[in-house]
Amino acid sequence: MNDMYTEKVLDHFRNPRNMGKMENPDGIGKVGNLQCGDVMAIYIKVKDEKIFDIKFQTFGCTAAIASSSIATELVKGKTLNEALKLTRTDVARELGGLPAIKMHCSLLATDALKAAIEDYRRKKKGG
């Protein structure tokens, strides 16, 4: 099984960055994939339209956890608009590649991030 994954994927799985629940986030994005059972939540704190803190909780496979971890690393400190440009291909490339059957995990990570930003913007408009 481990020969399916690059060392970088395994590193982010074994030592995930930014993992955990965030108290009082500015935005929350939750997504899931019914076929594989992966569920992902990304929490963001925003200051001056930049993501200054980000955390994730992922219940899923090696690729799902690694994708969540690398995605949070890639957008921390970026503006919301820069973060929205992150694609599933960017996530997979940063991990050194994912098996084709695991590419949906990189999409989950970017979808959760986008949902968190949309949640933040919706709350900001309403308040």
**What length is written for the chain?**
127
- Catalytic positions, written as ranges: 36, 105
- Asked if 30 contacts 71 with a C-beta cutoff of 8 angstroms, the reply is no
- Taking the C-alpha atoms of residue 78 and residue 97, their distance in angstroms, rounded to an integer, is 23
Instruction: Determine contact, residues 16/9, Cβ cutoff 8 Å.
Output: no
Residue 22 DSSP label: -
